Chain A
């Protein structure tokens, strides 16, 4: 008999093997493992896990169905709340959401809700179980800008309510950050993302790629000329930040966005694709978030020695614990309490190293985290050929600057109400990173749901 205080362990690719390939790290549960893990759930009446879920999936109900072996039923329960369960089961920070609230977690390990969600979603993809679509359409046209997690969720929810939804995507492929940002080894593109998007298509949602709103057309034109009665903006936070230190324009300094886009969206790791990537042999990734981990683990797989350079300590790393753990297992070296001051450049304009200082933690700052301060006389140099800046992103002003009456705050984020996504412009709703600045996939999905609710209320009362 297994220990009920512990999660059923999940099978993973060996670190030494996976550090050299782009195959998915985690294999997920099989039927037996999923049913065993599900049987650990005590089916709380007042389920805290649901409160922890930004899209309020009825977690105990779907887990109950898994325990009984009714996987299709389990998928339908999840499908009522989430359009992208195979994605969320893989990339949600469950430890701080549903699993963080699990009563089982008080005395032992919480239920492995994320891995169960992934199992159910993968089962549905493999067995081609269709989502339930609206019986009739109501003829109201809604435009959704951006095909990332916020846009897909909003579009899916509105289609289920009978709306005629078109999603506009600026890039040539659908999925937003799910395809350009998150790497293959964490979220397979063909096997998971494309199939999950197919399910949204099956709901009747139309998609148009290669349309940059603000350039190819504008929100006002969509509403005036093309008959869209409401618009949801889920355009994400696309603009990369740099440090502003000397040498940052040298060849070999990339934003994490560029490095990851070349590899993930343009598939530079695969020689049958034309886009090149200068993988680097000695790489430093500056930053400590999930994106930094993704960039570091990508560089590692492309054959480089990789260091994470982060100015605070391990405790403050914003990345998920699982990602840090995986990165370490694979051989990424963490240079913590270290901050770059200059990028050293050779005569031809290429990176040859980076000057850094050591940091110590002082008093807590506004974010509540202890402020890093420079240790006097601690300057040192790292020998490198590539530096990847992973310092966060800010929203792209292309839409806000071309839409009359759409208010933004001082960080260029679109001002929108949290409960329904309502912006300062009538009929226009927004959510996800475009509103909050860079956050997580699931928070964007939560905002997409809220936006769909807001648009439904607006058009129902119009």
Chain B
């Protein structure tokens, strides 16, 4: 059992939790993830690591309610427990192993979309702690959904918030902000790290490809075990099939087949939606969602 030592609502449907998991806290690095299971009946849900405290033995996770399992997790409070919490899984970000002096010469741009700010944060923080200032674009639909702003500002070089509805910061998509920085403000970047919904990563990659900026993305496909055993998370990357859980989750964004990855992510969509509505509406759910025809 893994104790939740802190739980807070960051924005609508987005929760932050600190969880006691000493082995994970001791070994995790930016770029890695964990798999969390609420109880015996729950799914194994992959979640990004947002922060960690090696001394306290805690790991910070951020979750957005997207299905039945995450909806149940959202109800957990400080002092509650997760049944299972395993990690760190996947490979750390490449820069963790790079020569720090070389790294300091690089201009790095992070592009986060929605809850993608959570996995971006430990990377920017790590760089900050090693004397590297990276620029960060964070996009969200609207001001209220923007998360981790203060934390990010404290560790980023330049911080550029964007909202789709123009309620805060740059009005528009993160891709237009990337173009603006490079084309209008004449900024030069040696590397871009884009993390967020697949559709956002796809378009960020199309933009950076045009601008000739090498780009790393962090893929979040469907997973079961997270240790390379099932192959559910397989992706086409260039000419190769890769498993996001053990080969990734970070890949060269210009080589990832996003269209295939997005189709694969739809695999259980109707089932997940059905399970979610069942949780939310309980016995009152009899097909009103227009998708599932009720519980048959």
Instruction: Answer yes or no: do A and B interact.
Output: yes
- Using a CB–CB cutoff of 8 Å, the interface residues on chain A facing chain B are 170-172, 180, 209-212, 215-217, 238-240, 242, 248-249, 251, 254-255, 257-258, 261-262, 266, 272-276, 278, 348-349, 396, 398
Question: B230: CB under 8 A from chain A?
Answer: yes
Q: Is the interface on chain B under 10, 10 to 19, 20 to 34, or 35 or more residues?
A: 35 or more
Nearest to A275 among chain B residues (CB) is B43
B230 touches A249 (CB 8 A): no
B228 touches A239 (CB 8 A): yes
Question: Closest 6 A-B residue pairs measured CB to CB?
Answer: A349-B263, A258-B230, A210-B86, A172-B84, A238-B229, A255-B231
A210 touches B85 (CB 8 A): yes
| A261 CA to B226 CA, complexed, in Å | 12
Q: A240-B231, A274-B43 are in contact. Are A262 and B224 (CB under 8 A)?
A: yes
- Using a CB–CB cutoff of 8 Å, the interface residues on chain B facing chain A are 23-24, 26-27, 37, 41-44, 68-69, 83-89, 224-225, 227-232, 234-236, 241, 246, 260, 263-264, 266-268, 271-272, 275
A396 touches B228 (CB 8 A): yes
A212 touches B41 (CB 8 A): no
Nearest to B67 among chain A residues (CB) is A274
| Among B228, B231, B232, B266, residue most surrounded by chain A Cβ atoms (within 10 Å) | B231
A242 touches B84 (CB 8 A): no
Q: Residue B225 contacts which of A216, A261, A348 (CB distance < 8 angstroms)?
A: A261
B227 touches A398 (CB 8 A): yes
| A249 CA to B271 CA, complexed, in Å | 20
Q: A249-B260, A266-B44, A398-B246 are in contact. Are A242 and B23 (CB under 8 A)?
A: no
A349 touches B224 (CB 8 A): no
B69 touches A170 (CB 8 A): no
| A172 CA to B24 CA, complexed, in Å | 15
Chain B residues with CB under 8 Å of A398's CB are 227-228, 246
B228 touches A266 (CB 8 A): no
| A275 CA to B89 CA, complexed, in Å | 20
A209 touches B27 (CB 8 A): no
| A172 CA to B235 CA, complexed, in Å | 25
B230 touches A255 (CB 8 A): yes
| A180 CA to B266 CA, complexed, in Å | 24
A211 touches B231 (CB 8 A): no
| A30 CA to B195 CA, complexed, in Å | 60
Chain A residues with CB under 8 Å of B246's CB are 396, 398
Nearest to B69 among chain A residues (CB) is A274
Chain A residues with CB under 8 Å of B229's CB are 180, 238-240, 257, 261, 396
5 inter-chain pairs at a CB distance below 8 angstroms, sorted by A residue, are A210-B84, A217-B27, A251-B264, A258-B224, A258-B231
| A272 CA to B27 CA, complexed, in Å | 34
Q: How far is the CB of B140 from chain A (nearest CB, A)?
A: 28
B37 touches A273 (CB 8 A): no
A258 touches B232 (CB 8 A): yes
